[in-house]
Amino acid sequence: MRAGASKAAIEGLSGQYFYNETERVYRIGLLLDTPHAVGIDFSPEGEAIHGIAMSLRAIGVINIPDSAGSSFDHGAFDAKTRLIFVAHLARDRVEVVDHDARRHVATLRGFREAAGVVADSGHVLVTNRGAATLALLDAVTLETQITLDTAPRPNGVAIVQQLGQAVVACIGDEVHRPELQVLSLDGRERHALDLPGRPRWCVTDAAGERVFLAIREPSMILVARLPALRDLQHWTLPAGGAHGLDIDQQRGRLYVACDDGALVEVDATSGSIGGQWSLSGVPDATFFNPATGLVHVAIGNPGLVQSIDPRAGTSSQFATAIGAKTTALAAPDRLYVFSPSHGGILVLADE
């Protein structure tokens, strides 16, 4: 797109615009007949400023029953079964999608306010915020193997497959403080730790020795040794509202998306702050793709996925829809965006 071209000339190609306050430009995501999507920035006067290559490309939509006007929470890809499991928060369900066939295959009911979902080696964990429980599913049979009680309002979750343990971050309520729990998946062992603030998402290191938990306020990464939740560390962040979180296991880097509009890189060994990048809204689900080296941050309003390359320090954005705030990564090359406006899941190629 040449500089000076009118925004009206390409309005027919996409209706998704948003204003980037940091850069003071309007941005439009275009789906063109090209290998990659393209983003174009416009000045407030409607003049095209520059075009940017984008890492994501839309390849289809998977319809989910009864999802229009609904709301989703987290989702996860299980590499063993090649199924995606999605927390259908507003419908008390878990939706199951076939990654290869790119279609919805099952609805699992009875998951009250399903929120967090993780999967590993045929095992799926689901936190049920409305029931204060954690469910362990068999990804092959789709049957619930065990349901464990948790503290009130369980949210973030991680699975330590090699140790047979789950890490659950519970928000708490008027009576109970926020709490981090480690539960053995056979129900025989549990450890608990009171938290200094509301927990968001959590991840573990590759060895399953430490858990990293995003705390909203005071904004920090809480680090504890598993399974007993000892050797605590509190790593303060330079941006408020720690929220989405993922880890680059190979390089030992954490990526924390904060409500104040920043993605922060943290050394997973020392807690030192590395890079920091502006975000175009309040973030939610955050995934690092080890195949591409990109960090994908879902932003529900104005509705986009912002992709940051920490090595190059560059950022691009792909327009989705308002309310599309959570995603699931199926490495090496798919990002699933849960979008009620699309009637289910927007499927993006991450190349």
Q: pLDDT of 73-100, one tens digit each?
A: 999 999 999 999 999 999 999 999 999 9
Q: Are residues 181 and 233 in the same domain?
A: yes
Same domain, 139 and 22: no
**Is the Cβ–Cβ distance between 280 and 261 less than 8 Å?**
yes
20, pLDDT greater than 70: no
pLDDT of residue 14: 37
Residue 281 domain boundaries? 61-341
Confirm whether 120 is domain-assigned.
yes
Q: How confident is the model at residue 55 (pLDDT cuts 50, 70, 90)?
A: confident
**pLDDT score for 44:** 52
Do 224 and 143 belong together in one domain?
Answer: yes
pLDDT reported for residue 351 = 82
Check whether residue 21 and residue 96 sit in a common domain: no
Query: For a pLDDT cut of 70, what percent of the chain falls above it?
Result: 85
Given a cut of 90, whether residue 300 has pLDDT beyond it is yes
- If asked whether residues 20 and 159 sit together in one domain, one would say no
26 with 111, same domain: the answer is: no
Per-residue confidence (pLDDT) for residue 125, from 0 to 100: 98
Same domain, residue pair 42 and 122:
no
Asked whether residue 190 is assigned to any structural domain, the reply reads: yes
pLDDT in tens, 104-124: 999 999 999 999 999 999 999
pLDDT in tens, 211-243: 999 999 999 999 999 999 999 999 999 999 999
44 and 74 in a single domain? The answer is: no
Note the pLDDT of residue 34: 34
pLDDT above 50 (res 325): yes
Residues 13 and 104 in one domain: no
pLDDT for 79: 97
Q: What's the pTM value of the predicted model, to 2 decimals?
A: 0.86
Residue 346 lies in a domain: no
Is the pLDDT confidence value at 318 over 90?
yes
Q: How many domains does the chain have?
A: 2
Residues 159 and 239 reside in one and the same domain: yes
**Dihedral angle of Cα 88, 240, 257, 225, to the nearest 10 degrees:** -90
Distance CA 115, CA 91 (A): 11
- Residues 11 and 125 occupy one common structural domain: no
Average model confidence (pLDDT) for the chain?
Answer: 89
pLDDT digits (tens, 9 = 90+) for 241-296: 999 999 999 999 999 999 999 999 999 999 999 999 999 999 999 999 999 999 99
Question: pLDDT-derived band of residue 54, with 50, 70 and 90 as boundaries?
Answer: low
- One domain, residues 74 and 40: no
Q: What is the pLDDT of residues 22-40, one digit of tens each?
A: 444 444 444 333 333 444 4
